[in-house]
Amino acid sequence: MRHYATIEELRIAARRRVPRMFYEYADAGSWTESTYRANSEDLARLQFRQRVAVDFSRRTLATTMLGEAVSMPVALAPTGIAGMQHADGEMLAARAAERFGVPFTLSTVSVCSIEDVAAFTHKPFWFQLYMMKDRGFIADLIARAKHAQCSALVLTLDLQIQGQRHKDKRNGLSAPPKLTLRNLAHLSRYPRWCAGMLGTSRRSFGNIVGHAPGVTGIASMADWAAKQFDPTLTWKDIDWVRERWGGKLVLKGILDEEDARIARDVGADAVIVSNHGGRQLDGAPSTISMMPHIADVLDGEIELHMDGGIRSGQDVLKALACGAHAVYIGRAFLYGLGAQGEAGVTRCLEIIRDELDMTMALAGVTDVCNVDGAVLRAGGFVRPRKPSNEGAAPVRIQVA
């Protein structure tokens, strides 16, 4: 088994081993991909303060997310059709996350179902929900997540209409994927991937096919999916979800200060600052650039999470310094999944953990819960210090 040293090496391996239509489904943005690129580029511009003569012999990355103990402040993000990056992909990723001690979030549009993942793991995982027109189906989906003992519901708010993704159009990728002669010819160039898919029965949308009314297979799924994303979704619908769920609720897709205020006021336990990985509104700001503004609005009243552009442990530390309580990785773990299945996801998490630990030490911090804006250079940022009460929420940095 090859020992990958960086997330970039996992990405290169995944690109070789996963059919282009599925690899580019994950590794692409919408329109010009400017927001997709900005997520990583804006993180890269932030600089650390190197500190010396600090005793960092005892360091810890352990913290909590939504009251659950985690080995580091990182969760696996909900990613559509992860089971097409590798056979049984969601199940394998969930088990890797469980063994590593971080949360796994299953997407509504996963290949493996809620029940598949629940039977394959031992600890509760999180479930991501898309609101659809068929509220009866959504109520049933929430009930299934409760029955599987999912410990948090992540409601995505920024996909009621799909952004224009040019690579998906060029590759002929649809939801669900259509087995055209062109696609079959392309898939045949990836014999190892094909062998894995032939070895599993999970090649559809496990949470939808056989559960949504009238959806019995791939053909009927296509018609159903085209009509179901609900453009009428408003903040009033959050109460409907909360009433049926009754547990921890996370709202994903927050990228504006006013929306953050509303999310807090409607009772969210956490928000995820997210632009859907640059796959929706191209030209929107990067998530890291909005963190100080949204952190200032929320002022530690609810947990503030972030995704977008996280490709290293250093990126994790920068996000924490900008006010995040924790981050999510999507593409990074998909690269690992595509490269080596469960072992690749584990390697992705190891890389991020080791880089976070080392960078934190060199920045003079020994406890991840004490990270604040002081670990970053001043360029463009004001660096507040951690208050004396160590249990307080992370202090935000603000644009000067």
Give me the pLDDT at residue 381, please. Answer: 39
Residue percentage of the chain with pLDDT more than 90: 81
* Band (399; pLDDT cuts 50, 70, 90): very low
384 pLDDT more than 80: no
Length in residues, the chain = 400
380 pLDDT more than 50: no
Give me the pLDDT at residue 392, please. Answer: 40
The span from the CA of 221 to the CA of 112, in Å, is: 15
Min mean pLDDT across 256-270, 353-367, 369-383 is at 369-383
60 pLDDT more than 50: yes
Min mean pLDDT across 24-28, 267-271, 315-319 is at 24-28
What 3-state DSSP class applies to 24? helix
Give me the pLDDT at residue 2, please. Answer: 67
Q: Residues 228, 210: contact at Cβ < 8 Å?
A: no
* Band (86; pLDDT cuts 50, 70, 90): very high
Give me the pLDDT at residue 219, please. Answer: 73
CATH of 7-399, picked from 2.60.120.10, 3.30.420.40, 3.40.605.10, 3.20.20.70, is 3.20.20.70
Task: Summarize the confidence of residues 301-313 as an average pLDDT.
Answer: 98
- Which of 86, 122, 276, 293 is flagged as catalytic? 276
Task: Summarize the confidence of residues 110-124 as an average pLDDT.
Answer: 97
279 pLDDT more than 70: yes
* Band (196; pLDDT cuts 50, 70, 90): very high
Q: Which residues pair with 249 in a beta bridge?
A: 153
Q: Residues 332, 352: contact at Cβ < 8 Å?
A: yes
Give me the pLDDT at residue 166, please. Answer: 73
Give me the pLDDT at residue 26, please. Answer: 92
Give me the pLDDT at residue 174, please. Answer: 58
Please report, in range form, the residues annotated as the binding site for FMN.
Answer: 78-80, 107, 128, 130, 156, 252, 274, 307-311, 330-331
320 pLDDT more than 60: yes
Q: Residues 334, 349: contact at Cβ < 8 Å?
A: no
Min mean pLDDT across 99-108, 114-123, 166-175, 297-306 is at 166-175
Count of Cβ atoms closer than 10 Å to residue 169 Cβ: 10
* Band (164; pLDDT cuts 50, 70, 90): confident
Please report, in range form, the residues annotated as the binding site for glyoxylate.
Answer: 25, 165, 276, 279
What 3-state DSSP class applies to 248? strand
Give me the pLDDT at residue 175, please. Answer: 54
Q: Give the predicted TM-score (pTM) of the model.
A: 0.92
Active site residue 147: no
* Band (393; pLDDT cuts 50, 70, 90): very low
Please report, in range form, the residues annotated as the binding site.
Answer: 25, 78-80, 107, 128, 130, 156, 165, 252, 274, 276, 279, 307-311, 330-331
- Mean pLDDT (the chain) is 91
Q: If you write DSSP's letter for every residue of 201-261 in order, what string do you get?
A: S--S-TTTTTTSTT--SHHHHHHHHHHHB-TT--THHHHHHHHHH-SEEEEEEE-SHHHHH
- Tokens for 272? 């995820």
Tens of pLDDT, residue by residue over 343-358, are: 999 999 999 999 999 9
90 pLDDT more than 60: yes
Tens of pLDDT, residue by residue over 73-83, are: 999 999 999 99
Give me the pLDDT at residue 167, please. Answer: 74
141 pLDDT more than 80: yes
Give me the pLDDT at residue 185, please. Answer: 86
For residue 90, the one-letter residue type is E
The span from the CA of 223 to the CA of 213, in Å, is: 12
Residue percentage of the chain with pLDDT more than 70: 92
28 pLDDT more than 70: yes
Give me the pLDDT at residue 221, please. Answer: 80
- Tokens for 82? 């992860």
If one compares 182 and 295, the residue with the highest pLDDT of the two is 295
